[in-house]
Structure 1
Amino acid sequence: MVRKEDFFISSNSVHNISEEEYQKVELLIKMFDAISRTTYQSLYIIDYYKKDFLHVSGNPLFLCGHTSEQVKQLGYMFYINHVPPPELNMLTEINKAGFNFFHTIPTEERTEYTISYDFHIVNGKKQMLINHKLTPLILTSDGRMWLAACVISLSPHDTPGHIELRKSGMTQYWEYSLVSHRWVANKGITLNEREKDILLLSAKGYTMNEIADKLCVAIDTVKFYKRKLFEKLEVKNITEALSFATNYKLL
């Protein structure tokens, strides 16, 4: 049985955050609220001192029928109430493995890392596969995570998992195996200029014939690159390819 306390581990215990320090982050909360109005994604600020959510944006897509204020009050009970039990266990394992990795990183580099993973949320009979990207916002003086930003979006995958930890600006990343229960280095995916051109032109709504004209190549060349691109990204169509490429900053 997963409890709220299972999402907070002793190695990241945060102490003695004053009300004055909370007042200083009010501007940060207002900024998050403003950003949330420009996107369908949901933005949370996680507070590891109070062991709760400091802010939940009002975007309704990922709130399972609750208001943002209700989700804020629920905190991690929201996940306990709306995530399938096997995936709840996965989330607590990810949390522990992520913090274990986090504390091996030099303190001055910790805010450059982001962990990403997919899981279902359940609202009545409806399930939705979502992606969480979590990155440190403010660390304590000894390098522990006080506040973290969490960006929730639709998952580009078909199944839960896909646990990855990335450092900003690096192609290489680390993938967590739920079978071996360890992090494995992955060299990552890069796109060549032709693949990027085809994706960017597709994003602008150009047809394959129009892309071929723009790039001064045969339409069969465009088809070849698109097929290889789908294989490389393990996606089925251009919409999924665009989602994957933007999600992982490949463009």
Structure 2
Amino acid sequence: MESSIKTGDFFSLQNSVESINESDYENIGLIIEAAKAFERSTYQCVYIIDYFKKGFLYVSSNIARLCGGEAEKIKDFGYRFYIDYVPHEDLKMLVEINNMGFKLFNNLPVGERKEYTISYDFHILRGKRKRLVNHKLTPLILTKDGRIWLAICTISLASGNERGNVIMKKPGSGMFYQYSLYDHKWEEHKEIVLTENEREVLSLSTQGYTMNDIADNICMSVDTVKSYKRSIFQKMEVKNIAEAVTYAQNHQLI
């Protein structure tokens, strides 16, 4: 069924970019090479959005493997990529996040806007199968009035099983904004604080260490390690270590 959502729905007037000249694109090659180096060193799926030309400036081959398409075709599709590869309900969610994200972004101090990243989970279709992915968008270059000209995005498999989880934050600020898909508004939250031992237990868990291994490593009992894990889960309001690791990465706690 033809989607009622069009590519233009992703380009909010709240981020209307004008007065970009061809001379402004002269150093774009350096940005693309930096993105390629980042992709090689992290194995992340990376692409760059150009809000002036309303398309993709660069698309990594890793994204093609994720959705089963070809990188150059996805680059040529631009925002048609979302319409072709995202389920309709998730597509509506993305348009809402896009509009409300720019509304919040434009209320932030201009000098701080490049420091914020927005993160959320949605499904990508590969044939008849769906994959839940985590998507992060960070401004690369702003216009003089603080609008996003270029943004770098990364996509990775999500560890949870529900779409949403919409967060905008600035590292080290001690707080973050979370968007409610039910109340359709942003809510401000204080960032949780992990103790040194909790951070150590979580870091070792990401490396695949067992409870016994962690206990030996930090010279504490297994029961103590379990206690730290319970405390971490309670603070983050998660159910397992995979969700805790994702939360920690999204909130830059480790």
- TM bucket by the smaller chain? over 0.9
Superposed CA RMSD: 1.7
The code of the aligned residue for 1:200 comes to S
Change (3 A) 1:158 1:204: closer
| Match in the other structure for 2:159 | 156
Alignment equivalent of 1:86, drawn from 72, 85, 89: 89
C-alpha contact (below 8 Å) 1:129/1:154 kept by paired residues = yes
Aligned residues: 251
- How far apart are the structure 2 equivalents of 1:126 and 1:190? 38
- How far apart are the structure 2 equivalents of 1:93 and 1:204? 36
- Offset, 1:207: 2.9
SS at match of 1:37: helix
C-alpha contact (below 8 Å) 2:47/2:59 kept by paired residues = yes
The code of the aligned residue for 1:56 comes to V
- How far apart are the structure 2 equivalents of 1:204 and 1:139? 37
| Match in the other structure for 1:36 | 39
Alignment equivalent of 1:104, drawn from 82, 104, 107: 107
- Offset, 1:60: 4.3
The code of the aligned residue for 2:156 comes to S
The aligned runs of 1:1-251 (5 Å cut-off) are 1-60=4-63, 63-251=66-254
SS at match of 1:231: helix
The code of the aligned residue for 1:108 comes to G
C-alpha contact (below 8 Å) 1:63/1:71 kept by paired residues = no
C-alpha contact (below 8 Å) 1:2/1:89 kept by paired residues = yes
The code of the aligned residue for 1:37 comes to R
SS at match of 2:67: coil
TM-score, length basis structure 1: 0.93
- Offset, 1:61: 6.2
Return 91-100 or 162-171, whichever deviates more: 162-171
- How far apart are the structure 2 equivalents of 1:22 and 1:61? 25
Change (3 A) 1:111 1:179: same
TM-score, length basis structure 2: 0.92
